[in-house]
Amino acid sequence: MLIHIGKKTLFCYLCNKSFRCKANLKKHMLIHTEKKFHVCEVCNTSFRRKHSLNEHMLIHTGKKPHVCELCNKSFGLKRHLKEHVFIHTGEKPHVCEVCNKSFRLKHILNDHMLTHTGEKPHVCKVCNKSFSKKGTLSNHMLIHTGEKPHVCEVCNKSFELRRSLRGHMLIHTGEKLYVCEVCNKSFSKNDTLSDHMLIHTGEKPHVCEVCNKSFRLRGSLSDHMLLHTGEKLHMCEVCNKSFRKNGTLSEHMLIHTGQKPHACDVCNKAFRRKCDLNVHMLTHTGEKPHVCEVCNKSFRTNSHLRNHMLIHTGEKPHMCEVCNETFILKCELNVHMLIHIKETSENSCLLRYAESHTYKRVL
């Protein structure tokens, strides 16, 4: 039963697609009955209407006559410019009658409506997975075929999805059209802005079904789930160490190659990981953005703040497996372990290595 939406009682006798009103069915029937007289001379694609051919020709000519007065971005079609302007105005004129959620574009509203009806009429012939949109099925099929048809003209990187290519292109153009109204930070993609807003609202909508831990981002939940499954699908070909995430494997590979691609603009010190460079930059700026809510002491990194909080909570999460003594910090446990190494080790070289390695970490 369709709540608030109404039944679709009119059916196309050729393809069984259903419609709520006669006008929409009549318009749909043209797909089956109307001939396509207008043929593109470049690629032979045919169209039912002349203006559709004219719009299509802009792909071949590259013309983009419609220019946004706010950011100078140009478009081939006037309606695309009109839709683009909503980014600047913030308007979302298309409202869902069921839940009142609003959207910039009509086709996005149409896609959204399927979440209420639960319809998934498009089924993958390979794995039987079903989708609400034909375009989503087409994108899904690329997983089976391995195709990446959308290629960046600047760096030749290829993508399965056109929207992934569009998002990638912003790296080259530097555009960041989506601005946070709370802190004015700007983003190249609306999805990234939406994820960012959760920092301000404190929402963590993605909940682990195993341990009820919640996360801001779906990707973070997916990574977390690997802790429960124990899967480590990404293996280093050099030392056979395995990792849950491909990104972690990529970072690990830098240990073998010796590469440190992230260099400080101030002192030229280089780092393997971007996050390590970000933390290092705070030594130059003097910023300590992570503040303890109990005593107001501030720290450069969130991990340092977390370690500090253990002083207030009294937790000692690092336990010695030999004597069960517990410690607040991992480095304190490492120092403690030297006691047991001295008691049991017959290899003085091993002892000297352990001492130098551990104290180096502490200092």
In a domain, 356, yes or no: no
In a domain, 317, yes or no: yes
What DSSP state is assigned to residue 299?
E
Same-domain pairing of 186 and 99:
yes
Same-domain pairing of 61 and 19:
yes
- Per-residue pLDDT of 22-33, as tens digits, reads 877 877 777 776
- Per-residue pLDDT of 276-294, as tens digits, reads 888 898 889 888 888 888 8
Same-domain pairing of 109 and 164:
yes
The number of domains in the chain is 4
Q: 3-state DSSP call for residue 69?
A: coil
CA distance 327 to 271: 30
Same-domain pairing of 100 and 178:
yes
What percent of the chain is modeled with pLDDT above 70?
90
326's enclosing H/E stretch is strand 326-327
Domain stops at, among 148, 179, 201: 201
Range of the domain at 40: 15-89
Q: Is the distance from CB of 131 to CB of 143 less than 8 angstroms?
A: no
Residue type, 322: V
Q: What is the pLDDT of residue 267?
A: 93
CA distance 141 to 136: 9
Mean residue pLDDT of the chain comes to: 81
Same-domain pairing of 134 and 99:
yes
- Per-residue pLDDT of 125-176, as tens digits, reads 888 888 877 778 888 888 788 788 888 888 888 888 887 888 888 878 878 8
Same-domain pairing of 30 and 46:
yes
Q: Rg of the chain's alpha carbons, rounded to an integer?
A: 29
Which comes out higher in pLDDT, residue 76 or 349? Answer: 76
Token pair recorded at residue 363: 């200092």
CA distance 363 to 359: 6
Q: What is the pLDDT of residue 295?
A: 92
In a domain, 8, yes or no: no
In a domain, 4, yes or no: no
Q: 3-state DSSP call for residue 179?
A: strand
Same-domain pairing of 53 and 126:
no
Q: What is the pLDDT of residue 345?
A: 55
What DSSP state is assigned to residue 64?
-
- Per-residue pLDDT of 32-74, as tens digits, reads 766 667 788 888 887 777 877 887 788 788 888 888 888 888 8
- Reported as a pLDDT band with limits 50, 70 and 90, residue 363 is very low
CA distance 164 to 147: 14
In a domain, 3, yes or no: no
Whether the model clears a pTM of 0.85, i.e. scores above it, the answer is: no
Averaged pLDDT, 228-236 = 84
Which comes out higher in pLDDT, residue 349 or 4? Answer: 349
Q: For residue 346, is pLDDT > 70?
A: no
User: Within 13 Å and on the Cβ side, how many CA atoms surround 112?
Assistant: 16
Same-domain pairing of 214 and 244:
yes
In a domain, 66, yes or no: yes
Same-domain pairing of 187 and 218:
no
Q: 3-state DSSP call for residue 347?
A: coil
What DSSP state is assigned to residue 147?
-
Same-domain pairing of 173 and 103:
yes
* Helical segments of the chain, H only: 22-33, 50-61, 78-89, 106-117, 134-145, 162-173, 190-201, 218-229, 246-257, 274-285, 302-313, 330-344, 348-362
Q: Which residues are 290's β-sheet partners?
A: 299
Same-domain pairing of 152 and 220:
no
Q: What is the pLDDT of residue 36?
A: 64
Domain stops at, among 34, 62, 89: 89
- Between strands 326-327 and 318-319, the pairing is antiparallel
User: Within 13 Å and on the Cβ side, how many CA atoms surround 179?
Assistant: 9
Token pair recorded at residue 153: 């003209």
Q: What is the pLDDT of residue 360?
A: 41
What percent of the chain is modeled with pLDDT above 90?
2
Kindly report the CATH number assigned to the domain that includes residue 257: 3.30.160.60
In a domain, 344, yes or no: no
Q: Is the distance from CB of 216 to CB of 192 less than 8 angstroms?
A: no
In a domain, 294, yes or no: yes
Same-domain pairing of 143 and 76:
no
- Per-residue pLDDT of 166-211, as tens digits, reads 888 887 887 888 888 888 888 877 888 888 888 888 888 889 888 9
The candidate with the shortest Cα–Cα distance to 56, out of 45, 67, 64, 48, is: 45
- Reported as a pLDDT band with limits 50, 70 and 90, residue 269 is very high
